[in-house]
Amino acid sequence: MKNKKFKSIATVVTLSASLILSGGIASAKNAETEWKLSPEAKINWKDSSSTTPSFITGSNIALGKIKSEKDVQKFFKDNEETFGIKPSTELLFVSEETDDLGMTHYTYQPAIQKTPIDQSNIVVHVDAEKNLVAVNGEFHPNAPKKVKQSKKLAKQNAIDKAWKHIGVDRGKADKKYKDKLGKEKSHLTEKDNLVVVEHDGEYTLAYHVQLQFVDPYPANWQIWINAETGDVVQSENRVHEATGTGYGVLGDTKSLNTYFYNNTYYLFDTTKPMNGVIQTFDYYGSTGTYNLPGSYMTDTGNTFYSERQKAGVDAHYYAGEVFDYFYNTFGRVSYDNNGADITSTVHYGSNYNNAAWVGNQMIYGDGDGSTFTYLSGADDIVAHELTHAVTSTEANLVYSNQSGALNESFSDVFAYFFDSEDWLIGEDVYTPGRSGDALRSMSDPTRYGQPAHMNNYNNTTADNGGVHINSGIPNKAAYNTINSIGKSRSEQIYYRALTLYLTPNSNFSDARQALIQSARDLYGTSVANSVASAWSNVGVY
DSSP 297: P
**Region 516-537 average pLDDT:** 97
**Is the peptide bond prior to 432 cis by the omega test (within 30 degrees of 0)?**
no
Query: What whole-number distance in Å separates Cα of residue 522 and Cα of residue 331?
Result: 16
* Greater pLDDT, 79 or 14: 79
* Greater pLDDT, 199 or 16: 199
Q: Which residues pair with 372 in a beta bridge?
A: 430
**Region 78-94 average pLDDT:** 90
pLDDT digit string, tens, across residues 502-511 = 999 999 999 9
pLDDT at 119 over 90: yes
pLDDT at 239 over 80: no
Highest mean pLDDT among 80-94, 103-117, 341-355: 103-117
Per-residue model confidence (pLDDT) at position 291: 65
pLDDT digit string, tens, across residues 426-477 = 777 888 878 888 889 999 999 999 999 999 999 999 999 999 999 999 999 9
The contacts of residue 394 (CB under 8 Å, 6+ apart) are: 498, 499, 502
Q: Per CATH, is 398-423+439-541 categorized as 1.10.390.10?
A: yes
Q: Is the dihedral of CA 158, 163, 169, 173 positive or negative?
A: negative
Q: How many CB atoms lie within 10 A of CB 532?
A: 19
Mean pLDDT score across all residues of the chain: 86
Q: Which residues pair with 508 in a beta bridge?
A: none
Per-residue model confidence (pLDDT) at position 22: 29
Three state DSSP letters for 217-276: CCEEEEEEEECCCCCEEEEEECCEEECCCCCHHHCCCCCCCCEEECCEEECEECCCCCCC
Query: What whole-number distance in Å separates Cα of residue 476 and Cα of residue 482?
Result: 10
Q: How many CB atoms lie within 10 A of CB 118?
A: 22
Which amino acid would we find at residue 248? G
The contacts of residue 213 (CB under 8 Å, 6+ apart) are: 168, 173, 174, 187, 188, 189, 219, 358
Per-residue model confidence (pLDDT) at position 180: 64
Highest mean pLDDT among 213-227, 259-273, 465-479: 465-479
Under CATH, what is the fold of the domain 166-237? Nuclear Transport Factor 2; Chain: A, (3.10.450)
Question: Could you give the C-alpha distances from 470 to 259, 442, 502, 508, 534, in angstroms and in order?
Answer: 43, 12, 18, 10, 17
Per-residue model confidence (pLDDT) at position 47: 66
Per-residue model confidence (pLDDT) at position 452: 98
Per-residue model confidence (pLDDT) at position 288: 53
Which amino acid would we find at residue 6? F
Per-residue model confidence (pLDDT) at position 453: 98
Which residue from 139, 144, 121 is spatially nearest to 43, judged by alpha carbons? 139
Q: What is the CA radius of gyration of the chain?
A: 25
pLDDT digit string, tens, across residues 377-402 = 888 888 999 999 999 999 999 999 99
**Region 6-22 average pLDDT:** 27
pLDDT at 19 over 60: no
Q: Structural domain boundaries of the chain?
A: 4-137, 166-237, 240-393, 398-423+439-541
Per-residue model confidence (pLDDT) at position 506: 97
pLDDT digit string, tens, across residues 23-78 = 333 334 444 457 888 888 888 877 666 677 889 998 889 888 899 999 999 999 99
Which residue from 71, 104, 67 is spatially nearest to 87, judged by alpha carbons? 71
Matching CATH topology for 166-237 and 240-393? no
Domain 240-393: which CATH number of 3.20.20.70, 3.10.170.10, 3.30.470.20, 3.90.1200.10: 3.10.170.10
Per-residue model confidence (pLDDT) at position 88: 86
Per-residue model confidence (pLDDT) at position 240: 57
Per-residue model confidence (pLDDT) at position 14: 26
* Greater pLDDT, 329 or 52: 329
pLDDT at 244 over 60: no
Residue 529 has, within 13 A of its CA and on its CB side, a CA count of: 3
Per-residue model confidence (pLDDT) at position 338: 94
Per-residue model confidence (pLDDT) at position 189: 87
Which residues are the active-site residues?
Answer: 385, 468
Q: Are 193 and 270 in contact (CB under 8 A)?
A: no
Per-residue model confidence (pLDDT) at position 251: 62
* Greater pLDDT, 143 or 502: 502
Per-residue model confidence (pLDDT) at position 400: 95
